Amino acid sequence: AQTVTQSQPEMSVQEAETVTLSCTYDTSESDYYLFWYKQPPSRQMILVIRQEAYKQQNATENRFSVNFQKAAKSFSLKISDSQLGDAAMYFCAYRSAVRGGSEKLVFGKGTKLTVNP
């Protein structure tokens, strides 16, 4: 079974600074997707960024980028120019892309990000 580990329960960053959230995963599959979701206090889970395992290029969405290291099974999220609105729980998630496999998302325990003004 696949597992996702987020080793940082809490992180903090100063407004306008850069922060990196860590995520490692364990799988025997070669084809899969990785996601970062953000859950602010409102509880709505929002997609931040998505990475296809077969793509070597790291995904980028505005101030958010990932460092995907497939061999190391590492998938970190970098937030540049942090804003107060970035404060939230961040979840790393894995999803199989194997035909016949489950489409469920497997989540890490989350990292609570605080942004200090």
Partner 1 sequence: KAGVTQTPRYLIKTRGQQVTLSCSPISGHRSVSWYQQTPGQGLQFLFEYFSETQRNKGNFPGRFSGRQFSNSRSEMNVSTLELGDSALYLCASSLRSRTDTQYFGPGTRLTVL
Phi-psi category of residue 109: left, alpha or beta, with phi > 0 → left and psi -120 to 50 → alpha: alpha
CB of 42 to partner 1, least distance (A): 7
Work out whether 84 is an interface residue with partner 1 (CB under 8 A).
no
| Residue closest to 24 by CA, chosen among 51, 2, 7, 5 | 5
Q: Which residue has the tokens 């990932």?
A: 66
Q: Residue 103 interacts with partner 1 (CB under 8 A)? A: yes
Choose, by CB under 8 A, the member of 8, 27, 50, 80 that binds partner 1. Answer: 50
And the tokens for 33? Answer: 């997707």
Under the criterion CB under 8 A, does residue 94 sit at the interface with partner 1?
Answer: no
- Please tell me whether residue 104 binds partner 1 under the rule CB under 8 A: yes
List residues binding partner 1 (CB under 8 A). Answer: 33, 35, 37, 42-47, 50, 91, 95-97, 101-110
